[in-house]
Structure 1
Amino acid sequence: MKIFVPNLEKHGGGFTPYVQQVPLISLGINLPGDAELYMTVNVLAASVTGRVLVRGHWQAELTGECSRCLEETVYSMKEHFSEEFKISKGPPHEARERGAGEAEDILFYTGDLLDLKEYLRQSFLVSQPLKILCRDDCKGLCPGCGADRNRKECGCREEIVDPRLRSLTALKEKEMRRR
């Protein structure tokens, strides 16, 4: 998503709305599957005293495998943001070095175009869930027989022993036999 800053300056500090469907592939994000996946970005942008204020949110509907039961599921991601961008006379990395005394929350851009591509890419990657669940109360697969416990109870006895405590379990069993 690109914002032409001179257009913002014409609005005299008022916020200008932008809405765009951004293909994840254009952000360098390759997810498994054949479907073309998009992120919907809603932004309000304003130019104020040499800086561009950008606030809004993005959302995406994705398909993935539940980490407990391995069923394919659709999950939503949504992130709100509010950022401040400042023009850089040189490359953005030089601006970060020169602007070390400024607030660290300020991001830099060059030229007349404010390109949110890298910002959106990083925001998406940081927002991805560590584990995808089909639902919060998913029971997962039985570790004994592999049955999906959401569909039926398998009747397997569930005994989980930490391998580091097996020697204590053996001592306990030995003690029980003595009694």
Structure 2
Amino acid sequence: MKLQVEEALREEGRKIPFAFQEPAAALGDVDTLPWKDSDVAVKGSFWSDGTHIVVEGTVRTSGMYTCSRCLTPVSLVRNAALSEVYGAEAELPEDVWPYNGEYIDLTETIRETLILSEPMKVLCRPDCQGLCPQCGANLNEGPCSCPTDKIDPRLSVLETLLNSKR
């Protein structure tokens, strides 16, 4: 997942498009991530701003996630924005990545972009009802037979207080 920067360095400001697709395994250690068996497609452009090389684009992949409420499998297509600045000089600012002068290796940048943009919570649908906390039934498939008026034993003292005031 490398970009040849020679052409961008010759013509400052000219955007050079790029696109490639690789298996997620090419990104290194991704065995624990939901998109480990999918392809990763990257599309964008890069250019020289006179001092650095700017890379912008999108990273697309898909994976099998688990619904956070009902635990059913969910297929999710992921799109993440890719935006980085690369420099070849010895002393680089904190927000600029180094490159060797001939090419830019995007592998680590793409991997980090996908990992940092992992969704915190995946739902099978926006109105997912989840699981019953008592019997574990999937409430999306219908109501369960558990009583709904059961009070948490830790709060039963409050119930007695409420009943004594009536």
* Number of the residue aligned with 1:87: 88
Instruction: Report the Cα offset of residue 114 of structure 1.
Output: 0.3
Per the alignment, residue 159 of structure 2 pairs with 173
Look up the match of 1:140: 130
Partners of 1:6 and 1:160 lie apart in 2 by: 70
State whether structure 2 residue 23 is matched by structure 1 residue 37.
Answer: no
How far apart, CA to CA, are the structure 1 residues paired with 2:111 and 2:75? 20
Q: Deviations over 1:121-145 (max 9, x none)?
A: 1111110112221112111111122
CA contact (8 A) 1:57 1:81 kept: yes
TM-score (norm 1): 0.78
Give structure 1 stretches of 5+ with no counterpart: 89-94
Q: Which structure has more helix as a fraction of its residues?
A: 1
Measured on the aligned residues, the alpha-carbon RMSD in Å equals 2.5
Mapped partners of 1:55, 1:177: distance in 2: 65
In the superposition, the TM-score normalised over structure 2's length comes to 0.84
2: CA distance, partners of 1:108 / 1:38: 26
* Correspondence for 2:147 among 147, 157, 161: 157
Tell me by how many angstroms 1:10 deviates.
4.3
Q: Which amino acid aligns with 1:174?
A: T
Give 3-state SS (helix, strand or coil) of 1:137's partner.
coil
1:23–1:38 Cα contact (<8 Å) kept: yes
Cα distance between partner residues in 1 of 2:35 and 2:48: 39
Q: Quote the sequence identity (%).
A: 31
Question: Structure 2 counterpart of 1:148, which letter?
Answer: N
Q: CA deviation at 1:110?
A: 1.6
What CA distance in whole angstroms lies between the structure 2 residues aligned with 1:44 and 1:24?
21
| Structure 2 unaligned regions, length at least 5 | none
Q: How far is the alpha carbon of 1:16 from its aligned partner?
A: 1.1
Matched residue count? 163
